[in-house]
C-alpha cells in the first residue's frame, strides 16, 4: 500500500507539473526594459485588393504600403504583433464593430462620422490625394464643375464618395452620381467602356489598377483634396489603449525617418507629410 501511495504521489506531482507547464506556454510575454508586457495578436482588417496599399503578392502574402508600415511598428514595439485579415470594404467597419478586427489599415481618411464613432491614430502615416480620373484622351474635364450633365462613378461609403457628395450638396447637386458596391476595378472598366464619364480616387491606385487590367485612364485637373490617412480602432478602453501604443511606435518611425524612407521606397516620393 505504501508503495502504491508513493507511486500515486509521484504521478500526481508529474501531472501537476505538466499542467502548470502547459498553462505557462499559453501566455507569451515580452520583456521590454524593466517591465514585462504580454504579446497578443492584433487582427487588422484590410481589403487586400487595394494595390499598392493592401494586396496579395505572388506568393499569396498580404502586403502593401499600409501593411508594411505596421510591420515597421512591430520592430519598434515588440509587444505589437499584427495578423492581417482581408475583407471587402463594406465589411471592414462591421468587422471592427464586432471585434472581428481590433484595427483597420486601408488608406482611411477622417470625417465627422468616423471621429464620433472610432479612435484614429493622432499621427498620420500617408497623405491620400483625390483627383478626377477619366478615359485617356478625354478633353473638357478638369474640375468637378465640368462633370455637370455627365456621370461620375463612385463606391458606396468610400471617403472619395463622401468628398464628392459634400461638394455636390454645396453646389446645387449638379452631378449625376452612379453608385457601385464594387471597388475601383469595376468602376475603371465602366469608365473605359463609356458607361460613366469619370470617377474620383487616388491617382496612385487608379494607375496601378488600370495597368493590371490593361485599361487606358489618366488623372486630370488639380487635386480635389489631399487628406492624411490613419489607422482606425474601436472607441472603447481596449481600442484607446491599442491606439496609444500604435501611435507611440508610429511617432518613433516618423521621427527617425524610416516612415519617409518607406514611402520613397514604394512611390518614389515622401507622401507622409
- Helices and strands, counts by H and E, the chain: 9, 14
Residues 122 and 36 in one domain: yes
Higher per-residue confidence, 231 vs 184: 231
Q: What is the DSSP letter of 53?
A: T
CA 88/CA 105 separation, integer angstroms = 13
63 has a pLDDT exceeding 90: yes
- CATH code, 101: 3.40.190.10
Tell me the percentage of the chain whose pLDDT exceeds 90.
77
pTM (predicted TM-score): 0.71
Are both 120 and 39 inside the same structural domain? yes
**How far is the C-alpha of 7 from the C-alpha of 269, rounded, in Å?**
72
Say if 7 falls within a structural domain: no
Give the three-state DSSP class for 185: helix
For residue 246, what are the CA distances in angstroms to 5, 94, 236, 262?
A: 55, 21, 15, 17
Give me the mean pLDDT over the 192-198 stretch. 97
Residue 39 has a pLDDT of 66
3-state secondary structure of 176: strand
End-to-end, the C-alpha distance of the chain in Å comes to 79
Query: Would you say 215 and 189 are in contact if contact means Cβ atoms under 8 Å apart?
Result: yes
| 18 lies in some domain | no
Mean of per-residue pLDDT scores for the chain: 88
Give the pLDDT confidence of 114-158 residue by residue, as tens digits. Answer: 999 999 999 999 999 999 999 999 999 999 999 999 999 999 988
Is the confidence at residue 20, as pLDDT, over 70? no
The residues, ordered by sequence, that sit 6+ positions from 122 with a Cβ below 8 Å of its Cβ are 247
C-alpha cell at 80: 505589437
Q: Is residue 11 part of a domain?
A: no
For the record, the C-alpha cell of 27 comes out as 501566455
Tell whether 177 is covered by a domain. yes
Note down the domain range covering 205: 128-227
- Could you tell me if 77 and 63 lie in one domain? yes
> Which of 21-25, 38-42, 94-98, 265-269 shows the lowest per-residue confidence on average (mean pLDDT)?
21-25
Identify the band that residue 17 occupies on the pLDDT scale cut at 50, 70 and 90: very low
How much is the pLDDT for 33?
47
Does one domain contain both 83 and 207?
Answer: no
Element (DSSP H or E) covering residue 161: helix 159-170
Amino acid at each position: 500500500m505504501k508503495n502504491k501511495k508513493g507511486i500515486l504521489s509521484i504521478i500526481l506531482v508529474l501531472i501537476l507539473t505538466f499542467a502548470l507547464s502547459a498553462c505557462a506556454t499559453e501566455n507569451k510575454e515580452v520583456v521590454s526594459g524593466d517591465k514585462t508586457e504580454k504579446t497578443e495578436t492584433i487582427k487588422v482588417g484590410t481589403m487586400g485588393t487595394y494595390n499598392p496599399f493592401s494586396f496579395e503578392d505572388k506568393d499569396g502574402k498580404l502586403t502593401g504600403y499600409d501593411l508594411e508600415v505596421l510591420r515597421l511598428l512591430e520592430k519598434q514595439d515588440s509587444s505589437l504583433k499584427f495578423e492581417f485579415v482581408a475583407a471587402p470594404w463594406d465589411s471592414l467597419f462591421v468587422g471592427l464593430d464586432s471585434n472581428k478586427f481590433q484595427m483597420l489599415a486601408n488608406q482611411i481618411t477622417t470625417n465627422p462620422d468616423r471621429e464620433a464613432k472610432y479612435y484614429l491614430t493622432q499621427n498620420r502615416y500617408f497623405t491620400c490625394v483625390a483627383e478626377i480620373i477619366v478615359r485617356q484622351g478625354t478633353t473638357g474635364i478638369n474640375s468637378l464643375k465640368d462633370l455637370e450633365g455627365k456621370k461620375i462613378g463612385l463606391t458606396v461609403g468610400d471617403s472619395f464618395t463622401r468628398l464628392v457628395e459634400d461638394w455636390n450638396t454645396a453646389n446645387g447637386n449638379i452631378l449625376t452620381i452612379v453608385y457601385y458596391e464594387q471597388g475601383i476595378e469595376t468602376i475603371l472598366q465602366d469608365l473605359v467602356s463609356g458607361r460613366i464619364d469619370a470617377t474620383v480616387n487616388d491617382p496612385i491606385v487608379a494607375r496601378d489598377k488600370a495597368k493590371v487590367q490593361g485599361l487606358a485612364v489618366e488623372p486630370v485637373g488639380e487635386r480635389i483634396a489631399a487628406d492624411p490617412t490613419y489607422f482606425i480602432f474601436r472607441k472603447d478602453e481596449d481600442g484607446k489603449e491599442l491606439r496609444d501604443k500604435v501611435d507611440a511606435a508610429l511617432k518613433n518611425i516618423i521621427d527617425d525617418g524610416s516612415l519617409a524612407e518607406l514611402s520613397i521606397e514604394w512611390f518614389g516620393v515622401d507622401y507622409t507629410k
